[in-house]
Amino acid sequence: FTTKHELCLFDRKEKDRAKEKEKKKKDPSQIKEREVPKHPSCLFFQYNTQLGPPYHILVDTNFINFSIKAKLDIVQSMMDCLYAKCIPYITDCVMAEIEKLGMKYRVALRIAKDPRFERLPCTHKGTYADDCLVQRVIQHKCYILATVDRDLKRRVRKIPGVPIMYISNHRYNIERMPDDYGAPRF
């Protein structure tokens, strides 16, 4: 060896080879352990057993705006869609997002302040409504998410047991709802 540095590199290579041999000598008949993500007990296959009347519906900002454009009364249209009592919930983040939109969306703000809407306080940092809604849906499987936002729908579809309410053809529709409940199929 010409230098001290090359000697150190040679020693490292020898140690790495020894570790690889030890890894290969493991018993193939040994039981393999792997970590599987835990799912809540409320999920029965793909169906959520915590869903039932009265339905708790988390409302997104754009859902309110598109409901106004389609001239739909939010609470009444939800009841028409699900054939049951519905309680719309609005988080502080969604309320802050509507307030930030300004005077153009003052009708949406008045609808969001309706006494029929339940307010959910947020304790996390930041006011990004999509992250807030996704976190709440992951923690509590009792909500239906009402949104028109494609990206948010895509994120929520990856979470098992969370139905999504959306607007199409001037009425509310719902996807991923168990057949036992009164939700219409289109």
Once rounded to an integer, what is the mean pLDDT over residues 7-21?
57
- Across the chain, mean pLDDT equals 81
The per-residue pLDDT for range 105-152, each reduced to its tens digit, is 999 999 999 999 999 998 888 778 899 999 999 888 889 999 999 999
Give 43-175's CATH code, choosing from 3.30.70.890, 3.30.470.10, 1.10.3720.10, 3.40.50.1010: 3.40.50.1010
- What's residue 142's pLDDT? 86
Q: What proportions of the chain, in percent to the nearest 5, are helix, strand and coil?
A: 40, 15, 40
pTM of the model: 0.72
Rounded CA separation 160/176 (Å)? 9
The DSSP secondary structure of 105-166, one letter per residue, reads GHHHHHHHT-TTSEEE---SSS--HHHHHHHHHHH-TTEEEE---HHHHHHHHTSTT--EEE
Domain residue ranges of the chain, discontinuous segments joined by +: 43-175
CB 182 within 8 A of CB 80: no
